Amino acid sequence: MQSLPSFLQAHNTPSDIAAILNGLMTSCVDISNKLQQGALAGILGCAGEENIQGETQKKLDVISNDIIKDQLASMSMVKGMASEEEDFPVACNENGEYLVLFDPLDGSSNIDVNVTVGTIFSILKTTKDVDASKPEAYLQAGTEQVSAGYVLYGPSTILMLTTGQGVHSFAMDPATGEFLLMRENVQIPAQTQEFAINMSNQRFWLPEMQNYVADLLQGEEGPLGKRYNMRWVAAMVAEVHRILTRGGIFMYPYDNRDPSKPGKLRLMYEGNPMSMLIEQAGGKASTAHAPIMEVTPTDIHQRVSVVMGSIDEVDVALSYHKK
């Protein structure tokens, strides 16, 4: 089986991008091992701090963030990084030409209940003259990403990766820490009968989303004419992984719980990288009004509403927003 470094080489991945990806995987092996140790290592529970988004940080949010930060800071091609768990971007190496944005631990409310979590990353190209300590340096649209992916820590540890030429999956061999190629050119089925949304927020959604989900729930007796199943893991990595594996639609729509936040998920650390994966696998990713990757970012921590997955089903959801 082909290892990640030899796959990247065989696919002529620019050496700097390959080095960043291999470096990120070194960090993810470390995070995977920490998660395996779990309670035995005394690393579950809260860190006693809040991140810039006002969310309580878990110890493992902080540990994972530090692992990735230390790794990237040592890499000459990394100009700077921005993390969901860091208030401000971190400038790294002056001569670097790449920026790395990441959600070190996605789905962190799952940690204490021993359920799937993940790491999400996005890589942008920059120039040597930018000031990577400034948020403005990172405000590129998702269409500019040169690579994106996630590592899922579940029953096995899996990498889903794109460098703009399809989506490929790798499984970590726990004995060696190597990521080995499992599937090339993953494709999402165009149609689905499975949706994922946090139904407890229903009363906060806009009427368009209320109407679409009401029709999903009517099944074969409703206008969509088919019976749907529902899943909610509470980790975007797991929801997107399910969609890349067997199709589906995942939504974290705008809601009016807090009018200052157009959705819960973060554009730069979650929305953009996951959209690149979904679109590279033949799916579609939208805010409900525009492609997520075409949103012009104004803040590194900004939120975005998300409707992504099987292309035909996403189009059905979007049709409710045009009515």
Residues that bind ligand FBP (CB under 6 A): 55, 84, 103, 106-108, 198, 234-236, 252, 264
Interacting partner of 90 out of Mg ion, ligand FBP, none (Cβ under 5 to 8 A depending on kind): none
Q: Is 108 annotated as a binding residue?
A: yes
Give the binding range for Mg ion (CB under 5 A) out of 3-11, 104-112, 165-173, 218-226. 104-112
Q: Which pair of structure tokens corresponds to residue 76?
A: 């000459």
- Determine whether the annotation assigns residue 270 to a binding site: yes
- The site partner of 253 among Mg ion, ligand FBP, none (C-beta below 5 to 8 Å per kind) is none
Separation of alpha carbons 47 and 111, rounded Å: 13
Pairing of strands 249-252, 194-196: parallel
Which pair of tokens denotes residue 151? Answer: 């590592």
Task: Give the position of tokens 């990237």.
Answer: 72
Q: Which is nearer to Mg ion, 103 or 313 (CB)?
A: 103
**One-letter amino acid of 12:** N
Q: Which is nearer to Mg ion, 28 or 181 (CB)?
A: 28
Q: How much is the CA Rg of the chain, to the nearest whole Å?
A: 19
**Does residue 106 bind Mg ion (CB under 5 A)?**
yes
SS3 (DSSP) at 106: strand
Closest to ligand FBP by CB, 8 or 105: 105
SS3 content of the chain, % helix, strand, coil (to 5): 40, 25, 35
313 binds, among ligand FBP, Mg ion, none (CB under 5 to 8 A by kind): none
Q: How far is the CB of 238 from ligand FBP (least distance, A)?
A: 8
Please identify the residue of the shown chain whose CB is closest to the bound ligand FBP. Answer: 236
**Residues 56, 41: Cα–Cα separation, whole Å:** 20
The least distance separating ligand FBP from the CB of residue 20, rounded to whole angstroms, comes to 21
**What residues have CB less than 8 Å from 174, skipping those under 6 apart?**
32, 156, 157
Closer CB to ligand FBP, 235 or 304, in the complex:
235
Assign 295 to helix, strand or coil: coil
Name which position in 57, 79, 102, 103 contacts Mg ion (CB under 5 A). 103
d(CA 240, CA 118): 11
Cα dihedral sign for 104, 87, 301, 109?
Answer: positive
- Is residue 109 annotated as involved in ligand binding? yes
- Residues in contact with Mg ion by CB under 5 A are 84, 103, 105-106
Q: Would you list which residues are annotated within the binding site?
A: 84, 103, 105-109, 198, 264, 270
